[in-house]
């Protein structure tokens, strides 16, 4: 387990289970401080999640699928909903990783990122 050391809104930590598209049978379990975004959690733990706009809700490359714990994320804003419409492989539980602060345990699927890397 990797523990994030970055100080956020509080000292509470939550469990983030990460299922990567290319390695679905080997999920990673992270311990993440409350208020960390999904994108930040991935960056802090060296898990690749594309973020072409730098995390300002202006692309859709940080698209993730929430498998469990949607109730532990903030409600989607109109801006997020608009950007998310552009995401490849959109699902009913899709979110933008840069817009979702973590307020409880979640399980998240990182979709195929190769479409952005050109291989």
Q: Which contiguous run of DSSP H or E holds residue 23? A: strand 23-33
Side-chain-side CA neighbours of 33 within 13 Å: the count stands at 12
| 53-72 positions binding ligand FES, by CB under 6 A | 53, 55, 57-62
Side-chain-side CA neighbours of 61 within 13 Å: the count stands at 16
Q: Which of 16, 30, 51, 95 binds ligand FES (CB under 6 A)?
A: 51
Specify the stretch interacting with ligand FES by CB under 6 A; choose among 5-13, 16-24, 28-36, 51-59.
Answer: 51-59
Per CB under 6 A, residues contacting ligand FES are 51-53, 55, 57-62, 83, 96, 98
């Amino acid at each position: 387990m990797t523990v994030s050391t970055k100080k956020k809104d509080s000292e509470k930590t939550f469990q983030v289970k990460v299922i990567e598209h290319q390695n679905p049978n080997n999920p990673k379990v992270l311990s993440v401080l409350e208020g960390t975004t999904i994108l930040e959690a991935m960056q802090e733990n060296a898990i690749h999640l594309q973020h072409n706009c730098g995390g300002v809700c202006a692309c859709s490359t940080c698209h993730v699928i929430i498998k469990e714990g949607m109730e532990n994320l903030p409600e989607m804003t109109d801006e997020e909903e608009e950007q998310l419409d552009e995401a490849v492989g959109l699902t009913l539980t899709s979110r933008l990783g840069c817009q979702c602060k973590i307020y409880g345990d979640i399980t998240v699927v990182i979709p195929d990122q190769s479409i952005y890397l050109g291989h």
